[in-house]
Structure 1
Amino acid sequence: MAGHSQFKNIMHRKGAQDAKRAKVFTKVQREILVAAREGLPDPAMNPRLRAAIQAARAVNMPKDNVERTIKKATGGGDGDDYSEIRYEGYGPSGVAVIVEALTDNRNRTAAEIRSTFSKHGGSLGETNSVSFMFNRVGEIVYPASVAGPDAVFEAALEAGAENVESTDESHAVTCAVDDFSAVRDALEARFGDPESAGLVWRALNGVAVDEEAAATLLKLLDALDDNDDVQRVSANFEIADDVMARLTA
């Protein structure tokens, strides 16, 4: 299992639990709130808001919740004021970790993230201490059922994408950050709304992690993801499938 996933992939390891679902709703609502405040409240004219609404649909957030959050963002009141912050550090075995957060209290979040790293065999570093080990790319994910790998590859190529990774479950299309909006729009016109679409961190190279270190690393990633302020967690680990199966059994 590679570690270039967003927080939703970490969720899949833990299973769909009610408490986890509530946390994900909180994270998605925050993203909708920030997206609606920084641009127009119309998703057709606000790419970030459109992506946030798609994320809400992916986790089955009720439509009323989405609409209330947008109204709250554009209501003109003081409300919550969230800042976007990126934290970078190292986990067990020197695995590079990037944590993206939306917080209304920078000091609180920094202290919590630092403590989480320390408790799980890691250390929080300075900004840009590990991001050079990743590429920032646009990623659009469709279920495998939308079309065959060849059709998706051809459509992605025509749209200006750089790569397509197809599995039995999904097609993950990646592109340059500057091309993201154009590629996403072209694919939506061809295949409809994707499962997810946004900017992600892709590791340039993976770090092999043995079973003992992997157990601690997964606890670190899960603990980071459990923080309400954390939106996405990316890491450059590689864990063998048989080891992952034992650890998640």
Structure 2
Amino acid sequence: MAGHSKFNNIKHRKGAQDKKRAAQFSKLSREITVAAKTGMPDPDFNPRLRLAVNSAKAVSMPKDNIQRAIDKASASEGDDYNEVRYEGFGPGGVSLIIETLTDNTNRTFTNVRTIMSRNGGNLGESGSVSHGFERVGYIQYPASAGSEDKVLEAAMEAGAEDISSDDDGHEIWTAMEDLHEVSGALEKALGEAESVKLAWRPSVQVEVDAEQAETLLNLIDMLEEDDDVQTVWGNYDVSDEIMEKLNAE
């Protein structure tokens, strides 16, 4: 169950998320409202809403913002959003899965296609890359949560399937249907996680060189800046050396 995994959900350039905090809060609010509409408006009885609220708390989204998003669903306010997934390829043959919540599918498709084509990528057909990924639960803890042995023991007792730890923190994987239960058990043992979500985990990773990595990460940044794009997943592997160089620029 132990082992080192370089997989991550676009944890790249330093400060990238800080610069997009307002947009990030907006996207999280959208997900919370949609989650609350698809089930009970109580996180304790709605696993998807609980995951959305946990993700919002992990980036210090104010409690008032979270509650407003839930109340909006209860009052049947706001636009109706559709979940649309796009698949395609980035520089170096990297596979990308782009998850969106949109109230206008034509606009979102046009925007995603344009961003991809202008930044070294191209869209594929539905299913063109997702067959190389597994839909799983993903839980992330900071290094301060404890030693690798402590987190490993807690993860095993909680029923997780895999864990990887390094100096940056701990990544824990679960079966998709077990995410809610495992995250709840880990919260009791380790405290609140940095991230709890459903993820796309690649079966094979693609190594990219410095030039490809720079173009790829720019492409991902551009996609994430679009209001309708919620999450971008990829099967890329960027070496620590290249990442440090890009972070220094």
TM, length-normalised to structure 2: 0.92
**Partner of 2:65 in structure 1?**
65
Shift of 1:197: 0.8
Determine if contact 1:10/1:222 at 8 Å carries over to the other structure: no
1:35 counterpart residue number: 35
Structure 2 contact 9–234 (Cα < 8 Å) conserved: no
Q: Contact 1:117 / 1:123 at 8 angstroms: preserved in 2?
A: yes
Cα pair 1:4 1:234 within 8 Å, conserved: no
SS at match of 1:114: helix
Instruction: Give the superposition deviation at 1:3.
Output: 7.4
**Are 2:75 and 1:75 equivalent residues in the alignment?**
yes
Once the two structures are superposed, the pairs formed by residues 91-170 of structure 1 within 5 Å of their partners are: 91-170=90-169
CA contact (8 A) 1:162 1:175 kept: yes
In structure 2, C-alpha distance between the alignment counterparts of 1:100 and 1:11, rounded to whole Å:
21
State whether structure 2 residue 8 is matched by structure 1 residue 5.
yes
Q: % of aligned pairs identical?
A: 49
The residue identity in structure 2 corresponding to 1:14 is: A
Looking at structure 1, the residues matched to 159 and 123 of structure 2 have their Cα atoms a distance apart, in angstroms, of: 36
Question: Paired residue for 2:48?
Answer: 48
CA contact (8 A) 1:161 1:183 kept: yes
Does the 8 Å CA contact 1:214/1:239 hold for their aligned counterparts? yes
Q: 1:152 to 1:240 in 2, by over 3 A?
A: closer
Q: Aligned-pair distance for 1:245? A: 2.2
Quick one: distance in 2 between partners of 1:134 and 1:12? 26
Residue 228 of structure 2 corresponds to which residue in structure 1? 229
For the residues of structure 1 that align with 2:60 and 2:18, how far apart are their CA atoms? 12
User: TM (normalized to structure 1)?
Assistant: 0.92
Aligned partner of residue 44 in structure 1, secondary structure: helix
Stretches of structure 2 that go unaligned for 5 or more consecutive residues are none
SS of alignment partner, residue 98 of structure 2: strand
Q: Deviations over 1:6-45 (max 9, x none)?
A: 35x247462622xx11110111101111111111111111
CA RMSD after TM alignment: 1.7
State the distance in 2 between where 1:3 and 1:158 align: 24
CA distance in 1, matches of 2:28, 2:17: 18
Count matched residues. Answer: 244
- Sort the Cα spacing of 1:199 and 1:41 in 2 relative to 1 into closer, same or farther, 3 A: same
Could you say which residue in structure 1 is the equivalent of 2:178?
A: 179
